[in-house]
Amino acid sequence: MERRLSGIAWHYRQLGEPLDTQDRHVATVLAGIRRAHGRPPVQKEAIFADDLLAMLATLENDLRGLRDRAILAIGFAGGLRRSEIIGLDCGPNQSEDGTGWIEIFGRGKASEAQKTTMRTAPALPMKAACC
């Protein structure tokens, strides 16, 4: 609904007519529509180790495939969300031989008071699945 309202507001701006989308009348109507027709987002099913191994088996052995294997393995081992995987970066405490750890700093979902959360994922060898 918000996207459609934004499109309508854009159209009005193009015509030179003001449309206050923050007006209490508009907000009341939108709240009523959300209350009547709102649905929680559909949560995706979690994958298990067998599912991950099947995904890894479909990847090629080129550079892109190795990158995708690493992303999938780290995301699975750390239980990361997509936004956390995107924000990953190599840190100074990681060891060169790959036996170190990965520290994941991200914003907590629970409340705004929770500034950051840190999870540590061990860098376990997955030679059978990755190599």
Burial class (CB in 10 A: 0-12, 13-18, 19+), 55: middle
Average the pLDDT over each of 13-17, 79-83, 101-105, 114-118 and give the range with the smallest value: 114-118
The residues with which 103 forms a beta bridge, in sequence order, are: 120
pLDDT at 52: 93
How many angstroms separate the CA atoms of 97 and 94, rounded? Answer: 9
Kindly report the pTM of this predicted structure: 0.48
- Are residues 113 and 72 in contact, defined by beta-carbon separation less than 8 angstroms? no
